[in-house]
Amino acid sequence: MSVTIAGITFDRVEYDADADVLYLHVGDPSTAVNFDETPEGHALRFDAKGNLVGITLVRPKHLLDQSGGLRITLPVPSDVSARELTPALSA
């Protein structure tokens, strides 16, 4: 399973249903060397070249249930629909 957000396809997808946290990563998670947080409280991971390689979405199921989508402020704000995330939250 993969999830695409802002044109980036995350091929490593893991959902912790108990904590309602969705972990998304491109390739090997150990490539992340820099970390940041979005205004919405999601964690971003970047590789040594500054490319976004991982996102940790906090409470995605709750946010989707509440409003049908969520926002992630990357270099450019990105809206993510329930259609894009629901398969990952159901896996």
Q: What is the pLDDT of residues 62-76, one digit of tens each?
A: 999 998 888 888 876
For residues 15 and 35, give the distance between their C-alpha atoms in angstroms, rounded to a whole number.
20
pLDDT attached to residue 15: 95
Check: CB of residue 72 under 8 Å from CB of residue 58: no
Give the DSSP letter string of the chain.
--EEETTEEE-EEEEETTTTEEEEESS-GGG--EEEE-TTS-EEEE-TTS-EEEEEEESHHHHHHHHSEEEEESSSEEEEEHHHHHHHHH-
- Range of 31's domain? 3-90
Which tokens is 48 given?
């040594």
Q: Residues, the chain, total?
A: 91
Number of domains in the chain: 1
Spell out the per-residue pLDDT of the chain, length 91, in tens. 899 988 899 999 999 999 999 999 999 888 899 999 999 999 999 999 888 999 999 999 999 999 888 888 887 656 778 888 888 888 6
